[in-house]
Amino acid sequence: MIKNIIQKELAEYTQNSHLKWIVVFIYLLFAVALFTGIQYYQKTNTGSKAAQKASYKQWLAQGKKNPHSASHYGFYAYKPLSPLALMDKGMEGYLGQAVWLEAHNQNEVKEREADDAGSIVRFGNLTVAFIFQFLLPLAIILLGFNLFSKEKEYGTLPALLSSSASIWQLFKGKAAALYRLVLYIFLPMFVVTFISILLFTGFAEWLNVLPHILFLLILYLLYVGLWVLLSLYISSFAKQSSVALVGLLAFWVFSTFFISRIGSVVAKSAVPTPSSFQFSHNIRLDNEMGIDRKTPAYLRQKAFEDSLLKKYAVDSISQLPLNIRGLNLQRGEDYGYLIFEKNYGGLEADYLKQNAIMNWLNVLSPPQSIRSISAGVSGTDINKHIHFSEQAELHRRLIATTMNDDITRNSVGIDNYEVSPDFWKNVPPFQYTSPSLLLVLPQQLISIVSLQLWLGILWLLLKKRAGQITGL
Amino acid sequence: MVMFLFISKYEWLALKANKMLLLVAAVTLFLLLFALWDGYKRVSFQTKTITAIEQQQKADYDKYSQQITSAKPGQHFNGGHFGNPTNPFYFGSRMGAKYAVLPPAPLSVISTGQGDLFPSYYKLTLSKRQALYHSGEIENPHILYNGSFDLSFVIIFLFPLVIIAFTYNIYAAEKQNGTLQLLMAQNTSVQKITAYRMLFRYLLFCGFTMVILFGGLLAFDVKVSANFSALAQVMGIVWLYAAFWFAFALLVNSVKKNAGFNATVLTGSWLLLVLIIPTILSGVVNKLHPNRSRIELITKTRDISDSIATSINVLNRFLEEHPEFKPAGIVQPDRNSLTLRNRIEVEVQKELLLNEFAITTQNRESMVNRYRFFSPAIFMQQLLNNAAGTNEKRYVDFDNQVKKYHQAYRNYFEPLVYRQQRFTAEHASLVPNFVHTEVNNLTSGSNTANILFLVLLVIISILFALLNRTNRLFSFKRRR
């Protein structure tokens, strides 16, 4: 029975003149988006790989130098672009790409693309993900708003009711037909994207992100189904198709464009972040006055030197078997770690709190939920960014410790201490390891659950609705 | 006129009896006030930060001047020689940092614009100018990505939707309710009645918006009378932009299809104009004028500074050319002089690279400008950002002023550093301050062109709608 309904609906769609235009429009935009995505990936990725190599080469070519000068010179860590950025650029434009690993300071990850891009990019980016998340639902609405209401308008409902098919069967058949139609539109695009990622990022990278891609595929299959059910549900209520259409369009606008910006405002009001002035001023005060604001720098140094005298059982600093300068530098670094953990850690915690608020609000909006999951899984969101900056910071500490240890151990009693050029090799190049899918998914838990809920609730509502329809 | 008033009266009665009016009014009220409140918070945050900066700068100068006055020869300072305020290099590099601040423009509440990306203050020291590059305000990237809920978002993105909801079925509803035949039997043409009803709704919508907007601006501390001309321009723009959407709705209504068709066409056009066209234009700009890579710049800059290195030659050459900067007596140039001079040399060479960035930015901007007429949303964004003083040009202009000021700041310290002079409290009191000079944003030629183009769009839409009296213009729809 359901098979017949599906066939009948699909046959009707083939005569629908809208369908052709919708497909042409979406495929055109998809072509543009994919092309842009590939270009973006290639350009950014080759750029950052080359720069990473060049920066390490500069580090190795420093020549004879004092290790602390080298530590100041440092090198840059560049954030490699995730292969899935080709499909979903996420918030990459607003995240930095490079961080300077230097002595004494944990730096921000800088060089945001948006800084140079001009105000036109504030309208957004046309990405493959944008088409899947925002435009595909619009197509579903346009194809499905009259899925049931047309039976009322054409006066065919009584005939249907008198047939052997139940309303629930009718619903299932209609939904399956629309779902199948949408898959005909969606799957070719997804396959092309899938192949593009293989072609343009390389087999190894592709294999790495294969679980991510498959996860996204499952997610999109559910997401598309969600919109099909929603369209049918609203359509089943409307006396006139146009009312269903306007209602669905209103929800589409609300969930795609409205809720995210409301989320920004709510998150910012609930969890304010410090100004950049306040932030750096706090770091300055932590340095000058101590994190507890009671132990200024000179007291910290004195306490440290006293502890050394005690530890090595000597009367004066000059009797120490190690170089005090190296020890002091490392002590400064160690205290710096505390300061940066407090300040950057605090800021990141604030960001995550803000994100949680936005994610909770996104429960109201399936497009925003999937947008968040997709950026997370694609490695183009802030979680991945923090993950990167943490690894970069560890590498900065590695540089500082390697340099300071050498000064401490090997420069006792030497005035103008310098090391030979091949010493720099003791610090390995920076290599970022991106998080696995299992690490990413818990961060998106709210959004994943919310999508399932939407789907489940719509299914139940539709079932209930089927029981309510008895006649005109 | 009599006809218009007559129709208006009954339109008003009909609207009053309808939930739609209440809904549109409530939504408009909420959107406007919420956006203004958000803008107000943003501006207050900025003002508070500026006050904190000014206080801190004064406190630092007072504190260190005091230290300098009471300093004794050979005294130990916290932080070792880096903490010695009587050394002009250390003072200028750290303790005597000065801030250059761009105050929010009077109408800043109406648009965040580029203000959440570009810095509105810089901390200046003797370090390289490029070290300042984009030391922007702290903001969660997720929030930047979402965009802000400011008045400009409400006007550009949401107003058209409210207008669409308010107008999409003016004609179709008559058809659906079966009152169309009644109307057609009248002396006046249905087209004319629809146009008058549309006009009435337009005046109602804009009038209501103006009242809320003025009230909101007053409530949120905007000096209305002092900025009357700029505000009048903003209001004018809002009237025009709304007029465009009402006229367009009239045009779509004139095709005399059902409400579903109208809603689809209007929402589709909205999507195309405010989203698809701008993003495609942005993509094309990226393709034709790709941004230069900041990442490559890092590598190049390092190469430059490595090549200049800490060679004494740079400083010696400079001192030979400028003997007036040589330290008095037999004192040799010190490490600080060398560091400072090297920095400046690197900066000069890097400036050439940076100019390429400025050229690319300009090319991108002029391309956007050339094609901005494809979508009113693009030049509405420009118009509102210009009025709010959050447009890119104002920030670039600020940057240029900062650049000049930084030069003055450094010029002041340079001779003191090279001559290895003792830095005194009097020296500290004479360090130059930054004063921002406002450039006029509103009277540019492109603004006028934007406004004229909006007027043109309105007229064209109305003309088409009126010409479509017999529905011949879009008769291709009837082929089916």
Complete DSSP assignment for A163-175: SSS-HHHHHHHHH
The whole-chain average pLDDT of chain B stands at 85
Residues with Cβ < 8 Å from A398, sequence gap 6 or more? A427
User: Which segments of A238-323 does DSSP mark as H helices, in order?
Assistant: 241-253, 259-270, 276-289, 297-312
Q: Work out the pLDDT band at B10, boundaries 50, 70, 90.
A: confident
- Written as one string, the DSSP assignment of B98-115 is EEEE-PPPTTGGG--TTT
Residues with Cβ < 8 Å from A467, sequence gap 6 or more? A167, A168
Q: How far apart are CA B223 and CA A471, in angstroms?
A: 62
| Number of residues assigned to chain A | 472
Contacts of A95 in chain B (CB under 8 A): 141
Structure confidence at residue A458 (pLDDT): 96
Pairing between strand B98-101 and B121-124?
A: antiparallel
Interface test with A, best of B34, B46, B155, B279 (most A CBs within 10 A): B279
Contacts of B176 in chain A (CB under 8 A): 240
CA B344 to chain CA centroid, nearest Å: 32
B282·A120 Cβ contact <8 A: yes
A47·B49 Cβ contact <8 A: no
- Which of A188, A185, A190, A39 has the alpha carbon at shortest distance from A129? A190
- Which of A335, A359, A351 has the alpha carbon at shortest distance from A447? A359
pLDDT: is B457 or A265 the higher one?
A: A265
Contacts of B172 in chain A (CB under 8 A): 242
Structure confidence at residue B445 (pLDDT): 61
Contacts of B52 in chain A (CB under 8 A): 275, 277-278
Quote the Cα angle for A306-A308-A311, to 5°.
115
What's the pLDDT tens digit per position in A133-168? 999 999 999 999 988 888 888 888 888 788 888 889
Q: How far apart are CA A149 and CA A128, in angstroms?
A: 32
User: Residue B161 is nearest to which of A29, A111, A253, comparing CB atoms?
Assistant: A253
A265·B38 Cβ contact <8 A: yes
User: What is the identity of the amino acid at B116?
Assistant: D
User: Residue A296 is nearest to which of B78, B298, B365, comparing CB atoms?
Assistant: B78
Residue of B nearest to A131 (CA): B276
Rounded to the nearest angstrom, the minimum Cα separation between A25 and chain B is 11
User: What is the identity of the amino acid at A189?
Assistant: M
Rounded to the nearest angstrom, the minimum Cα separation between A459 and chain B is 26
Q: How far apart are CA A244 and CA A143, in angstroms?
A: 12
Rounded to the nearest angstrom, the minimum Cα separation between A171 and chain B is 22
Angle between helices B277-288 and B376-388 (to 10 degrees): 80
pLDDT: is B172 or A25 the higher one?
A: A25
Q: Work out the pLDDT band at B468, boundaries 50, 70, 90.
A: confident
Structure confidence at residue A364 (pLDDT): 95
What's the pLDDT tens digit per position in B55-88? 999 999 999 999 999 888 777 777 667 788 999 9
Is a pLDDT exceeding 70 seen at residue B131?
A: no
Low-confidence ranges of chain A (pLDDT < 70): 471-472
Handedness of CA B443, B387, B378, B253 (dihedral sign): negative
Percentages helix, strand, coil for chain B (3-state, rounded to 5) are: 75, 0, 25
Contact A437, A212 (CB under 8 A): yes
Averaged pLDDT, B173-195: 73
Cite the beta strand spans of A158-214 per DSSP E: none
Q: How far apart are CA B259 and CA B256, in angstroms?
A: 9
Touching check for B291 and chain A: CB below 8 Å?
Answer: yes
Pairing between strand A98-101 and B98-101?
A: unpaired
User: What is the identity of the amino acid at A156?
Assistant: T
Structure confidence at residue B467 (pLDDT): 76
Structure confidence at residue B328 (pLDDT): 74
Averaged pLDDT, B338-342: 85
